[in-house]
Structure 1
């Protein structure tokens, strides 16, 4: 079987991470600056949070797009020599603890949480409280995203990081922990506004406050706290965008490893992986946003959107996501509010690309669901289209009760590197 570019990538990333992680989760590196050197200065801490963004983009966000896309049929496999992707494409028990991509996501997410905790603890001791609040907030963004990743992919999540034999809790606890971390960051910002000096020391693109509220809305929704999800989504300025930006020396990882090589995966087709009954209207302008047609060489459908150039920015959240969270919160509250749910849904259905900070717009005529069940189906449909390849579809499929036949796994097995070093590792889910 052909050795793939991705096999080499995962092997290299795993080796890199294992030099800092090891089987006992000792996240120290004898060749790097000491923790005292890094964590005793504001500039050292800023460098660490910039590293969190890079690790998250290259390993966690990249891995979620890859794994979720293939597991939920958003994408098709281009090369069966890509061992991890071949497992996802096959599904079921073919996905096991040897999966290099899942192992990398697991290790990277835990490493981000560990480093973020160190930044947050050290920042609280700085005398410049405006710079400290920026550090706390920025580190919390990637901590929360990583906690959300673990809770979305695994049935149980670690209670601690940096210890050899951590215990585990139900994955829903992972979402509530992410929300608690966000609330602490928002409190720090409220007490001491983020300084301009901090903003100058981190990459452009990230709208810190809006991102914290957006992630609180996302994980409150996933945790089933619809009132909190609605309140947080209402706090997000939908005219703003927040992105991870890239440059030639630090390229967009999906473009670099997937789009430019045509060797890993590509969009399945204009359905974006949805069944016929709820497939996108062919007039939906989100289809040509996320895909482009190659008229001469298979596959016909290719990635577009946020992965079409080396410097394309990847969103940390989507304004349309916030609107759909509002629609779902209205639909799922104790007394469903069909009127406001439909109103919010149609803001996304009718939205023009020119009116969206990310350039996403369906530009369709309004829909008129007659029942709460119909409304929820339309919300799910539009989440799958609006948030295509964001890594959230697997979580959505479970929340909306979609049949198992529409996906190839429900939750993932634990990496062997975790199981081999930690006797508390839970049993793998059957599917």
Structure 2
């Protein structure tokens, strides 16, 4: 009798363990609060949300990387000696490893914004938007793509002009990257001149106190000076 109960308990224990293993390995859980890529890129609400998110990503991620990393390297920013990445930057040269997190951030964060801008440029024409809202979003995407390319050009000797979905980038010299950024800014200026941004765009999508036209022109001037086009 005891042997029967022992076998029964063993069977239950094995079944419970098997069930636990099966359920524990299933990590594909649907998040009801997270929109799919198709929902973002094929709907008006998704495109608007992406435009807002792109600005936030640049302000929080790219700006920090473009200030901190060069600032430590130049000695303009003091560091806490407990952060290895920053110590490497302070020492410079061969002391900077290929896995330095700050250097990787200075690369990956602008690349992320460029990817978001590309999605906006390709998706905004295909969703229902007011013409002025559409032109504002596309011009904004051109601006942020150009600014991110400028960050890469100032930090690295070579950088990609276009991104490959498989992660294979074609690297171009700094001057070509800046020239491509200037072309994006010229296109943004022409787009807004032809179709001015709508009130919806300036009040609900564009960051507060952000003058889009003036910012585009300021970066056009800056990048033209950097490549030696002093008459532009």
Query: What TM-score bracket applies, with the shorter chain setting the length?
Result: 0.7 to 0.9
- Partner residue in 1 for 2:107: 106
Structure 1: stretches of 5+ with no match in the other structure: 1-29, 229-431
- Partner residue in 2 for 1:216: 220
For 2:183 and 2:81, the matched residues in 1 are separated by 41
Higher relative contact order (CA 8 A, sep 6+): 1
- Partner residue in 1 for 2:189: 186
- Partner residue in 2 for 1:176: 179
Question: Aligned runs of 1:30-429 on 2, under 5 Å?
Answer: 32-77=34-79, 79-127=80-128, 128-161=130-163, 162-202=165-205, 203-228=207-232
Q: Is the 8 A contact 1:49 1:119 kept in 2?
A: yes
When the two chains are superposed, the root-mean-square deviation of aligned CA atoms in Å is: 1.7
1:56 CA displacement: 1.1
TM-score normalised according to structure 2 size: 0.80
1:216 CA displacement: 0.8
SS of 1:157 mapped into structure 2: strand
For 1:187 and 1:125, the matched residues in 2 are separated by 20
1:126 CA displacement: 4.2
Q: Is the 8 A contact 1:49 1:139 kept in 2?
A: yes
Structure 2: stretches of 5+ with no match in the other structure: 1-29
For 1:159 and 1:195, the matched residues in 2 are separated by 30
1:107 CA displacement: 1.3
Once the two structures are superposed, residues 190-228 of structure 1 have per-residue CA deviations (whole angstroms, 9 ceiling, x without a partner) of 111100011122231211000000111111111221111
- Rg larger in 1 or in 2? 2
85-94 or 155-164: which moved more? 155-164
Residue correspondences, number: 198
1:42 CA displacement: 2.9
1:101 CA displacement: 1.4
TM superposition outliers: structure 1 runs of 4+ over 3 Å: none
For 1:220 and 1:152, the matched residues in 2 are separated by 14
Q: Is the 8 A contact 1:66 1:85 kept in 2?
A: no
- Partner residue in 2 for 1:305: none
For 2:187 and 2:45, the matched residues in 1 are separated by 22
Once the two structures are superposed, residues 207-258 of structure 1 have per-residue CA deviations (whole angstroms, 9 ceiling, x without a partner) of 1000000111111111221111xxxxxxxxxxxxxxxxxxxxxxxxxxxxxx
- Partner residue in 2 for 1:21: none
1:183 CA displacement: 1.1
For 1:148 and 1:142, the matched residues in 2 are separated by 10
TM-score normalised according to structure 1 size: 0.44
For 2:96 and 2:178, the matched residues in 1 are separated by 24
SS of 2:159 mapped into structure 1: strand
Once the two structures are superposed, residues 292-345 of structure 1 have per-residue CA deviations (whole angstroms, 9 ceiling, x without a partner) of xxxxxxxxxxxxxxxxxxxxxxxxxxxxxxxxxxxxxxxxxxxxxxxxxxxxxx
1:143 CA displacement: 1.2
For 1:180 and 1:158, the matched residues in 2 are separated by 15
For 2:153 and 2:166, the matched residues in 1 are separated by 19
1:163 CA displacement: 2.9
1:46 CA displacement: 1.8
For 2:143 and 2:169, the matched residues in 1 are separated by 23
Say if 1:223 and 1:163 are closer, same or farther in 2 by CA, change over 3 A.
Answer: farther
For 1:102 and 1:155, the matched residues in 2 are separated by 13
